Amino acid sequence: AKKHKVTIIGSGNWGSTIAKMVAESTAEHSDLFERDVQMWVYEEDVQLDEKSKHYKKSSETSQGPQKLTHIINTFHENVKYLPGIALPHNVIANPSLTDSVKDSSILIFNLPHQFILGLCKQLRGHILPYARGISCIKGVNVHESSIGLFSETIGEELGIYCGALSGANIASEVAQEKFSETTVAYDPPPIDSQAPTPATSQGPSPVSSHVDLTQLAHKDVTGRPSKVKLRPLPQEYQAIDHTTIKKLFHRRYFHVRVVSDVAGVSLGGALKNVVAVAAGWVDGLGWGDNAKAAIMRVGLLEMREFGNRFFPHTVNPDTFTVESAGVADLITTCSGGRNHRCAMLSIREGKSIEEIEARELNGQKLQGAMTAHEVNTFLKSQKAEKDFPLLTAVHNILKGNGKAEDLPDLIEPSE
Ligand code: NAD
Ligand code: 13P
């Protein structure tokens, strides 16, 4: 059988960690996957620290800043976004987006959510039309009164099926091979395996008019019929099913549960980042564990209600309470996540969360504050702010219309 070639699109803290694990898996399952894993890197110049073990070796040829891709491919370490972690030599950093995805049948999207739409536009016409995707992105795609999941957005932008990976996965811990679990949601619609397979990856429209549309009765996350008309995988490949997905991500230290609830998994990952901002404020105020547990309890209820109300046809409410992508991710992000830490420091120092982000994160990006505003735009459009008091309070406080000290009153349900 033809082997699957895998590309990771994104190389931040989590992108590099996923690349490490996937490259370990492709080396292990050489019957299924090509060994080398492409990792698209948003190129930048990086100055190696004089104390870095790579500095002396590198300074023989260059004293100044060097391309991040060059550093990764030479020293097998992403010194900027995942310092101190050895990457397998079969992770190949590539600064060209279109070259990195060439001939790849599995695309893993792993970027801060604000960049994904622009990237999809650049990718159109350059991917295999029958490729399958997995989105590791935590965020939602809000446009005025509509809300979408990034797996859905990627799928529609590129004309492919895209699932989602999310869980209690603080990247630095996973990268150090400390045990964690994750949830992968993968549920492509059935397609007629006899439909003709396109020969090339050229052309912007991946839709084959020969595909039997009655086979595409799959619904997207909002219950509307999906706009994506999926191309079948050529027969020389092994199917990309739950077993293949598990082989790609599962490690001894990273346990994968594969489910079908793409909406629940994606919403859990997005909304918990907003709750983590409130949890960070409460810790910044020194209010203790009971107060933080109260925030997390209310947050979990609002996450589940959000799914039930706006994704009623597809969300499985149990995902929020049973899967790593729900309650476990909420707990870990409210304890050791970047959103929590920056929110906590912002209260302690009386500075904005953006100032703390710029100072503390060395180019890494917070998702919680932006998601709070995006979710609020959507809730306003639905006249539903009062039903989500915690999500609404986080937005208002970030905008300066309220104080973290008032959270206990603000999250009290309205009569
Ligand atoms: P990051 O915050 O560590 O890094 C930011 C990345 O954005 C870098 O790779 C940088 O090169 C890139 N970038 C900067 N400007 C860009 C531009 N204009 N266009 C494209 N890329 C640009 O990223 P991350 O932690 O890997 O986050 C990716 C996703 O994974 C996010 O949705 C995040 O919520 C999620 N996630 C993160 C963690 C974690 O612990 N870091 C864990 C699970 C999920
Ligand atoms: P932060 O972005 O807040 O660090 O959260 C990471 C995460 O998603 C852990 O699962």
Q: How confident is residue 222, by pLDDT bands cut at 50, 70 and 90?
A: low
- Are 106 and 4 a contacting pair, CB within 8 Å? yes
pLDDT at 216: 34
Average pLDDT for residues 48-77, to the nearest whole number? 84
Which letter, b or e, does each residue of 29-53 get, where b requires 16 or more Cβ atoms within 10 Å of its Cβ? eeebbbbebbbbbbeeebebeeebe
pLDDT at 229: 81
Q: How confident is residue 191, by pLDDT bands cut at 50, 70 and 90?
A: confident
pTM of the model: 0.93
Give, in order, the Cα–Cα distances in Å from 181 to each of 8, 163, 259, 314, 405.
Answer: 20, 17, 13, 23, 34
Q: How confident is residue 60, by pLDDT bands cut at 50, 70 and 90?
A: low
Q: How many CB atoms lie within 10 A of CB 144?
A: 8
Q: How many CB atoms lie within 10 A of CB 117?
A: 14
Three-state SS for 135?
Answer: strand
Average pLDDT for residues 129-148, to the nearest whole number? 96
For helices 338-349 and 353-360, give the axis angle rounded to 10 degrees.
Answer: 120
What is the amino acid identity at position 127? I
pLDDT surpasses 90 at 325:
yes
Q: Which of 138, 166, 356 to mutate to test the pocket of ligand 2 (most atoms within 8 A of CB)?
A: 138
Question: pLDDT tens digit string along 1-13?
Answer: 999 999 999 999 9
Question: pLDDT tens digit string along 286-307?
Answer: 999 999 999 999 999 999 999 9
- Active-site residues, by number, are 272
* Residue 252 alpha carbon to ligand 2 centre in Å: 21
pLDDT surpasses 70 at 223:
no
Quick check: CB of 374 below 6 Å from ligand 2?
no
pLDDT surpasses 80 at 252:
yes
Higher pLDDT, 201 or 406: 406
Structure tokens at 124: 């159109």
Q: What are phi and psi of 45, to 5 degrees?
A: -90, 135
pLDDT surpasses 60 at 43:
yes
pLDDT at 55: 77
pLDDT surpasses 80 at 210:
no
- Are 156 and 227 a contacting pair, CB within 8 Å? yes
Upper half-sphere CA count for residue 310 (Cβ side, 13 Å): 25
Give the residue, by CA position, lying nearest to ligand 2 atom 2.
338
pLDDT at 189: 87
pLDDT at 52: 80
Q: 79's torsion region: left (phi>0), alpha (psi -120 to 50) or beta?
A: alpha
Q: How many CB atoms lie within 10 A of CB 63?
A: 11
pLDDT surpasses 60 at 73:
yes
Can you tell me the distance from the alpha carbon of 246 to that of 25, in angstroms, rounded to the nearest whole number? 10
Q: How confident is residue 218, by pLDDT bands cut at 50, 70 and 90?
A: very low
- Are 249 and 25 a contacting pair, CB within 8 Å? yes
- Are 192 and 211 a contacting pair, CB within 8 Å? yes
Structure tokens at 172: 């630095």
* Residue 118 alpha carbon to ligand 1 centre in Å: 14
Structure tokens at 136: 């590791």
Can you tell me the distance from the alpha carbon of 350 to that of 403, in angstroms, rounded to the nearest whole number? 12
pLDDT at 123: 98
Q: What are phi and psi of 67, to 5 degrees?
A: -65, 140
Tell me the average pLDDT of the chain. 91
pLDDT at 225: 53
Quick check: CB of 292 below 6 Å from ligand 2?
no
pLDDT surpasses 50 at 203:
no
pLDDT at 62: 65
Q: What is the rounded radius of gyration, in angstroms, for the C-alpha atoms of the chain?
A: 21
Note the ipTM here: 0.99
Size (the chain), residues: 415
Q: How confident is residue 70, by pLDDT bands cut at 50, 70 and 90?
A: very high
Give the residue, by CA position, lying nearest to ligand 2 atom 7.
170
* Residue 166 alpha carbon to ligand 1 centre in Å: 14
Average pLDDT for residues 99-115, to the nearest whole number? 98
Q: How confident is residue 354, by pLDDT bands cut at 50, 70 and 90?
A: very high
Alpha helices in 8-94 (DSSP H): 13-28, 55-59, 68-75
